[in-house]
Amino acid sequence: MADNRQVAPGSDLAKPLDEAAIREFSSKVRGELIRPRDDGYDEARTVFYGGFDRRPELIVRVKDATDISHVIALARESGLELAVRSGGHSVAGHSTTDGGVVLDLSEMKNLELDVEGHTAWAQTGLTAGEYTAAAAAHGLATGCGDTGSVGIGGITLGGGVGYLVRKHGLTIDDLISAEIVTADGELLRVDSESHPDLFWAIRGGGGNFGVATRFQFRLHEVDEIVGGMLILPATPEVIASFVAEAEAAPEELSTIANVMVAPPMPFVPAEVHGQLIIMAMVVYAGEVDEGERVVAPLRALAEPIVDMLKPMPYPEIYPPEEDDFHPTAVARTMFIDTIDRDVSQSILEHLRASDAPMRVAQIRVLGGAMARVPAEATAFAHRSSRIMMNVAAFYESTEERAAREAWVSHFAAALRQGEGGAYVGFLGEEGEERVREAYPESIWDRLAEIKRRYDPTNLFRLNQNIPPAIEQ
Ligand SMILES: Cc1cc2nc3c(=O)[nH]c(=O)nc-3n(C[C@H](O)[C@H](O)[C@H](O)COP(=O)(O)OP(=O)(O)OC[C@H]3O[C@@H](n4cnc5c(N)ncnc54)[C@H](O)[C@@H]3O)c2cc1C
């Protein structure tokens, strides 16, 4: 770099990298550099969600913590915006940037499993699916969410709500330690003994505090599960009863119920296409015989339209994915307490009122192990929330977006109960007020103070941002 000054993030002094700066930088890093003129640039700049057609100045596929340190220095000294990417599934498009630098962790996929000790060190370029498959080869698992292609980097830093949430808690509840490169380029090992403040903050505080290179997770014995997809007709009674059964069930059972328009998929009978259904994904992580008994009341709620519940190896719950699927969607996340018959009726009315080809109200019943962790133990504090609710409408053209946004806002407002709250992992680009909804005030203040200590210039700002507290 020609100029070693520290440039305030976002300042007008930020400038494109010149050839000399790039040459000097490339002599220091082991990872591949990809620039706008390079082959593979378009693929390398693509993230999961469509609609983020951004053109980074530089993408660096880092190989190790030293590379990460160099990328951080480059961003700090140039003032260019820094996007940190693990699996690229940011709902807000935060893992890409126009004119900035992308720190791409996708080649850091090392995994060290301690099968005897039931722990694993996982580099953050691994996806949830890759991690789950490797651990499952030994009958072990850490809960990671519902989609295999999501990166363990982003999901862990947000909290991680998945198919083992009621049995084993959030992904962060199995986080034993982490390695983080902070804004000054230093690699820190963080756990309950070493930098406990930072360890607390990264369990729900997102990418605000540094770049996580690897995580040490606890693993649980999860071998054969009873689960899969169950499709039921969506009536107010069936929705409310499904939620009641899911809440009353033993905590081995976690469910994700999508109330949606039946898609024209081959396994859905043609006469149901276009009708409102509950497409539920179900996991019972315990003895198979008991699992069959526990899922029976769900099957009995109505004549199932599709019943694929069966004993299966745990990783089969992650369906195969298409590489070139890049949906565009508007979504809103919240926590609510109750889904009774009236709320269910309102869900159905709102879904009927939209003509978006794909629209959904997703219901995740919480509780169990997740709720036993004290609210102040991690930056994710919604421990007593009973239900996570996400509503979304997909769209194909930008002209449609405003209508989809209006519908989603209206729907979310109608569902709101009490304080609301938000899960940071599902937040879009919704503004500071919504980021604050992800954290109770005392948690927010504590996060801002930790941010001030570890990232005083807000270098890591392309995220659900918690600005550094102002020094008193
Ligand atoms: C289809 C889909 C399904 C989902 N399902 C679930 C689910 O079941 N449960 C759930 O809890 N969440 C779920 N999510 C939300 C998901 O956890 C977040 O979007 C998460 O941030 C994605 O992680 P990523 O690494 O793939 O994303 P990226 O876009 O790579 O990262 C997102 C942000 O996280 C931060 N970040 C990522 N990696 C690092 C790192 N190594 N160090 C520092 N900061 C980092 C950065 O700020 C980055 O902008 C889902 C998202 C999608 C799109």
**What is the DSSP code string of 237-249?**
HHHHHHHHHHHHS
Q: For a pocket test of ligand 1, which of 89, 217, 325 has the largest count of ligand atoms closer than 8 A to its C-beta?
A: 89
Q: How far is the CA of 9 from the centre of ligand 1 (A)?
A: 23
The CA distance from 69 to 130, in Å, is 26
pLDDT score recorded for residue 17 = 85
Q: Whose CA is nearest to atom 4 of ligand 1?
A: 147
Q: How far is the CA of 155 from the centre of ligand 1 (A)?
A: 4
Q: Which of 139, 130, 345, 361 is nearest to 240 (CA)?
A: 345
Q: How far is the CA of 458 from the centre of ligand 1 (A)?
A: 20
**426 token code pair:** 């599902």
**337 token code pair:** 């307490």
Q: Where are the alpha helices (DSSP H) in 139-187?
A: 152-158, 165-168
Q: How far is the CA of 456 from the centre of ligand 1 (A)?
A: 24
The CA distance from 220 to 314, in Å, is 12
- For residue 325, the 8-state DSSP code is -
Nearest atom, ligand 1, residue 170 CA: 11
pTM of the model: 0.96
Angle among Cα 404, 82, 87 to the nearest 5 degrees reads: 60
The CA distance from 96 to 51, in Å, is 11
Asked whether 281 lines ligand 1 (CB < 6 A), one says no
Phi first, then psi: what are they for 75, rounded to 5°?
-65, -40
Nearest atom, ligand 1, residue 47 CA: 29
- For residue 314, the 8-state DSSP code is G
The CA distance from 263 to 411, in Å, is 21
Show pLDDT as tens, one digit a residue, over the chain (472 residues): 333 345 555 555 567 788 999 999 999 999 999 999 999 999 999 999 999 999 999 999 999 999 999 999 999 999 999 999 999 999 999 999 999 999 999 999 999 999 999 999 999 999 999 999 999 999 999 999 999 999 999 999 999 999 999 999 999 999 999 999 999 999 999 999 999 999 999 999 999 999 999 999 999 999 999 999 999 999 999 999 999 999 999 999 999 999 999 999 999 999 999 999 999 999 999 999 999 999 999 999 999 999 999 999 999 999 889 888 999 999 999 999 999 999 999 999 999 999 999 999 999 999 999 999 999 999 999 999 999 999 999 999 999 999 999 999 999 999 999 878 999 999 999 999 999 999 999 999 999 999 999 999 999 999 999 999 997 7
DSSP string, 249-278: S-TTEEEEEEEEEPP--TTS-GGGTTSEEE
**145 token code pair:** 């969410």
The CA distance from 88 to 214, in Å, is 17
Please answer whether residues 343 and 389 qualify as being in contact, where contact means their C-beta atoms are separated by less than 8 angstroms.
no
Q: Is 433 exposed, middle or buried (0-12, 13-18, 19+ CB in 10 A)?
A: exposed
**215 token code pair:** 């995580």
Please answer whether residues 414 and 346 qualify as being in contact, where contact means their C-beta atoms are separated by less than 8 angstroms.
yes
Nearest atom, ligand 1, residue 153 CA: 38
The CA distance from 423 to 332, in Å, is 10
Q: For a pocket test of ligand 1, which of 64, 86, 146 has the largest count of ligand atoms closer than 8 A to its C-beta?
A: 86
Q: Which of 44, 442, 439 is nearest to 205 (CA)?
A: 439
Angle among Cα 314, 320, 321 to the nearest 5 degrees reads: 135
Q: Whose CA is nearest to atom 7 of ligand 1?
A: 145
Asked whether 147 lines ligand 1 (CB < 6 A), one says yes
**88 token code pair:** 């690229």
Asked whether 158 lines ligand 1 (CB < 6 A), one says yes
Nearest atom, ligand 1, residue 152 CA: 25
- Three-class secondary structure of residue 123 per DSSP: strand
Asked whether 94 lines ligand 1 (CB < 6 A), one says yes
DSSP string, 365-379: E--THHHHS-GGGSS
The CA distance from 10 to 387, in Å, is 38
Asked whether 87 lines ligand 1 (CB < 6 A), one says yes
What residues does 202 pair with on adjacent strands? none
H or E stretch at 341: helix 341-352
Q: Where are the alpha helices (DSSP H) in 57-107?
A: 65-78
For the chain, how many helices (H) and strands (E)? 14, 19
Nearest atom, ligand 1, residue 364 CA: 8
pLDDT score recorded for residue 360 = 98
Angle among Cα 83, 84, 87 to the nearest 5 degrees reads: 125
pLDDT score recorded for residue 153 = 98
Please answer whether residues 181 and 211 qualify as being in contact, where contact means their C-beta atoms are separated by less than 8 angstroms.
yes
How distant is the alpha carbon of residue 266 from its chain centre? 29
Please answer whether residues 412 and 427 qualify as being in contact, where contact means their C-beta atoms are separated by less than 8 angstroms.
no
Asked whether 206 lines ligand 1 (CB < 6 A), one says yes
Rg from Cα positions in the chain = 22
